[in-house]
Each structure stands twice: as structure tokens, then as C-alpha cells.
Amino acid sequence: MNATLRNTWTVTLHELTDSIRSRRAIVLLILYALNAVVATLIFVKVLHEMENQFEKVVGVAQAEKAGGTTTAMWKNRHFRELISHLVGNKETAEKLLETPPLALFFGWLSFFYTPLLVMLMSASRISEEIWSGSVRFMMFRTSRLSWCVGKYAGQALQLLVALLLSGLAAWITGWCRMAFFDPGANAAAIAIFSLKAWIYGIAFLGLATGVSQFIASPNVATAVGIIVMILFGVLSMVAEWVTRQPWQEILNALDLLVPGGHKMDLWLPDVAHAGVAAVFLLALGAAYMLAGYARFSRRNL
């Protein structure tokens, strides 16, 4: 095996084992799983309340558990037409409506919290090694690039495990708490959303790794990572709101350079949209990481 690839893989494995030893990975997994369980419980409770209200209005018997009315409503022709109208694309709406509600909720939840957790857990990973000087024990053993890419890949694998575990936690919670729960359909849809959230998270992981290479202080790196993440979010929101030309064109072009600009396409079930968005997001992650590397490759350690 090529020495660069071999060393990248060695660093990736070490990143995983080091995270487990330092309990960083355990904290990450607990945070993701706990978040999924609590949010799913809240979702099921709110859904149950809404169904009870609905059942009271239409005068039918109230169910003990959530999910029954929603499942019926989900299959209702008028409701589906309404959603098609709201989404603006019948095919997309139909595809989304084929997704179980719990999986949709899980997808929304994962896309919401993954960027923040990535910033909290990963933006300090390289900077803390620069800060402590432990990076010096490695830089005469391997190239700076293979070390950085190895750290990035190790973090990406941890994120994947965390998201799959949180999906499993949400699935178990839904299975326990919902009356009408299709285990197979929910498992498949949650797995797909876990993978999509992972791809979305990888773009932010690239940002976190990039910032971590720029800034030697772990705390400052985390703070800067979160600030940049918020600024990216603001840019996507503004790009959506502004309709005045030429600002709309400019903002839309800039929006393509941030993960939020590809989020909705990744949500869509068709491969044409989601696939292109996935490629864009992976490329953005790599670009952010390499932008940081441009600084790291020249910095004094």
C-alpha cells in the first residue's frame, strides 16, 4: 500500500481508538442517542395530543397510543393533495408522504443538531494537538496531509456511528411508544436519513477540521467554528428571503458555497437531486478541510 494511504488509515484508526479511550466518542454517542430518544418522546407526545384533539373534533374514540390517526391521515387523498400543493411538486410530495412521520421527524432533527454537535466535538481536534505540542511527535513520521486527512476520516467514521446509533434509538423509542408503527419502513427511512445527515454533517466536519488547522487554541477554534456555522446559516436564510436583483443572484451563488444551500436537495428522495447535493456537500467538506490545510501545511509547529 502506498505510504501516504497507509499512514492516513493508521491515523484514522488511531483517531477512533483515541476517541474511545478519551471517552470523547462515548460522550458523542450518548449525546446523539439521548437527543434522539428525548426528541422522539416529545414528538410522540405532541403527535398524540394533536391526534386526540383531532379525534375530539371529528367525534371518534381517542386512541391510547399515538400514530393511528396520523397513519390514516397520511393515507388520505385530500391530505396528500394538500401536501402536494404545499411542496409545489406532486412527485416530491408523494415521495415524502411515503416516508413514515417518525422518520421525517428524525431527519429534520438530525439535520438540525448534527452541525452544532460536529462543531462542539471536532473543531478542537487538531488545534488541541498543536496547542499541547503532541503533533510534533508525528510530523517527522508522516506527512502533514496524511495526518490531517486521517483525523478527518476518523471523525467522519465516528459521526456515522453516532448518527446510526441515534437512528436506532429513535426507532426503538417509536416502536415502544407508537400504536401504528411499521418497523421495516421506519428502519429503512431512518437509515436513509441517517446517511443523509451524515453527508450533511461531513460538510460541517470539513469546516470544523479546517478551522482547527487555522487556530492553535482549542477553545478559540470551537468558538470560531460555531460562529462561522451560524454565519453560514444566516447566509442561507438571507439568500432565501432576498428577491431584489442582482442581490438574489449573488446570494444564491454564495449559498452554493455553504452546506445550507444544498440541504433541501439532499432531503429530496430522488437520486438526481439528492445525489448532486451529496456530491456538492462532500466536495464542500473537502474544500473547507483543504483550505485549513493550506495554512497548516505552512505553519510552524
Partner 1 sequence: MNTALELKGVVKTYGSRRALDGLDLAVPHGTIFGLVGSNGAGKTTALAVTVGLLRRNAGSVSLFGEGPFDPSRHAGRVTLLPQDSRLPLHARTEDLLWFYGRLQGLAEGALRESIDEVLEWVHLRDRRRSPVRTLSHGMMRRLTIAQAFLGRPELVLLDEPMSGLDPREAARIRAILKRRHDAQTVVISSHNLHELETLCDGAAFIEAGKLVRQDSMDTLTRRSRCVTFFLEPAGQPLPMEELKKTLLDATWEQALDGAELTVRFLEEASRAVDVNARVLEVLLQHGVGVLEIRRGSALESEYFSATDSHASSVTPLPPPGSATP
Binding interface with partner 1 (CB under 8 A): 3-4, 6-7, 10-11, 14, 17-18, 21-22, 129, 132-134, 136-143, 298, 300-301
At 172, list the grid cell.
426503538
Q: In the complex, what is the shortest distance from the CB of residue 144 to partner 1, in angstroms, rounded to a whole number?
A: 8
Three-state DSSP class for residue 163: helix
Residue 46 vs 139, nearer CB to partner 1: 139
Q: In the complex, what is the shortest distance from the CB of residue 19 to partner 1, in angstroms, rounded to a whole number?
A: 9
Q: Classify residue 249 as exposed, middle or buried by CB count within 10 Å of its CB (0-12, 13-18, 19+).
A: exposed
Q: In the complex, what is the shortest distance from the CB of residue 157 to partner 1, in angstroms, rounded to a whole number?
A: 17
Residues 148 and 135 sit within 8 Å (Cβ to Cβ): no
Q: What is the dihedral of CA 167, 283, 261, 229, to 10 degrees?
A: 70
Residue 140 vs 241, nearer CB to partner 1: 140
Residue 17 vs 76, nearer CB to partner 1: 17
CB within 8 Å of 189: residues ≥ 6 apart: 99, 100, 103, 104, 107
Sign of CA dihedral 217, 218, 220, 224: positive
Q: In the complex, what is the shortest distance from the CB of residue 28 to partner 1, in angstroms, rounded to a whole number?
A: 15
Q: In the complex, what is the shortest distance from the CB of residue 71 to partner 1, in angstroms, rounded to a whole number?
A: 47
Q: In the complex, what is the shortest distance from the CB of residue 74 to partner 1, in angstroms, rounded to a whole number?
A: 48
Residue 71 vs 143, nearer CB to partner 1: 143
At 200, list the grid cell.
450533511
CB within 8 Å of 161: residues ≥ 6 apart: 25, 29
Residue 153 vs 197, nearer CB to partner 1: 153
Residue 23 vs 90, nearer CB to partner 1: 23
